[in-house]
Structure 1
Amino acid sequence: MPVFPEEPEIHESLPGPGVPFPRESDAQALHAPATGGAPATAPTTVTAAPAPVPGPRPAPPRPAQPRVDRSGSPRLIPKPGPAPRRPAAATPQVEVRRIAATPAQALERADDAVDQLLDSGRNPGNILVLTVGGAHPWQQHELSFGEERYWAQLAEGGDVFYADAALNRPVRREVVVLVVNGGSPTRAAETYTKALARATGLLVVCGEAGPAATGVSGAAPGRPVTA
């Protein structure tokens, strides 16, 4: 009979010193198939992305090329200039109304003109009466109470004020009535210019005064209206 060599016996190796004996549960866990849960994954290694390589710097903007018209010659674009200024509003012109009268009739014509202005609704404090010759009777009456009281009425501005045409106080009222009851034509022309400067809306001239009457050059212009 043939002789077969004996199979070597396999003995379980014992763990070395310091190595704990395997537990039965560990052995079962190694041989048992994984059921449920997330499968064990190998640790992943995160690789940092390479830093971007800076590209070339942008070139400075090129100046705009001049436009070329059809004829082929370059046409430069004009730079915008300052905005045009608007014309200033024209100053309203004072209306001039003339009443024909001799020096002897001028005071009476002026009183009638003042009455018509008050009847039309004008405020008495907006009317100034200036005389070229002698003082108006109402001026003489107010001065009889003293100059202080007389000038106080001018400051209050509540009534028609009567004064000499050579008034040197800065007074302006809506309506000025110039009474040419005497004086030379030269003085009448000068007082006309001053009276026109004191009026803001209407100048009533009772008598002969102003450039339309004397032809004096340099007098202030107005819009003559014959009444």
Structure 2
Amino acid sequence: MQRTPHDVAVAKPAVPGPVAPATSAPTPVPAPVAASAAPQIQLIPASAAGALDAAEEAVDLLLESGRAPGEVLVITTGEQHPWAAHELSFGDTAYWAQHDAGDDVFYAEATSASRAASRPVVVVAVNGGSAAAVAEALPLAHARAGALLIVCGDPQQINSVLGAGV
């Protein structure tokens, strides 16, 4: 019970304070829903050069543990994943049709990840790219992750974008 009032107090500043009490709006309902909808975040420390390999290992472990391939989205902040580069060679339409089919792991570059739908698990390889691209990709990945966000990269850079203690 102590957590609910704390969650509500945290949620109230996002909504105009004087309006919510005056209308007697049921503010406790949205706060627990939002709190329970937040994905778990896991950080795998890796250099930019090793982030893609770390992401591949994470995907392998997810699949070995029973995750369905269609539940996983992988986003790269630097160079495209080789699978994405290969599939894009067949054209943009065919590439995104595979995404829409949702039956396999999908790999997207950060610049096009906003087009990707949410999936239960999102893995981000912080394998380069500008600081602005990383700062844009991580919140987007967080929003796309239903249950779990795995970020592979430099912990200091990731924590500065997603918040300390990730």
TM class by shorter chain equals 0.7 to 0.9
Q: Which amino acid aligns with 1:87?
A: P
1:185 maps to: 131
Mapped pair 1:173 → 2:119: yes
Cα offset for 1:209?
6.4
Q: Which amino acid aligns with 2:80?
A: A
- Structure 2: distance between partners of 1:198 and 1:145: 26
Bigger CA radius of gyration: 1
Cα offset for 1:212?
5.3
The superposition leaves residues 137-174 of structure 1 with CA deviations (integer Å, 9 ceiling, x where unpaired) of 01011112222211100111000000111223151100
Calculate the aligned-residue CA RMSD, in Å. 2.5
Mapped pair 1:102 → 2:68: no
- Structure 2: distance between partners of 1:191 and 1:96: 14
The superposition leaves residues 60-102 of structure 1 with CA deviations (integer Å, 9 ceiling, x where unpaired) of xxxxxxxxxxxxxxxxxxxxxxx99482033222111000111
Instruction: State the TM-score, normalizing by the size of structure 1.
Output: 0.55
Cα offset for 1:210?
7.9
Detail structure 1 runs of 4+ shifted over 6 Å in the superposition.
none
Instruction: State the TM-score, normalizing by the size of structure 2.
Output: 0.74
Mapped pair 1:136 → 2:136: no
Mapped pair 1:208 → 2:149: no
Count the aligned residue pairs.
139
Cα offset for 1:113?
0.4
The superposition leaves residues 109-150 of structure 1 with CA deviations (integer Å, 9 ceiling, x where unpaired) of 110000000000001001000000011001011112222211
Task: Structure 2: state its 5+ residue gaps.
Answer: 1-23
Q: Which amino acid aligns with 2:95?
A: Y
| Higher percent of residues as helix | 2
Identity of aligned residues (%): 46
- Structure 2: distance between partners of 1:181 and 1:187: 11
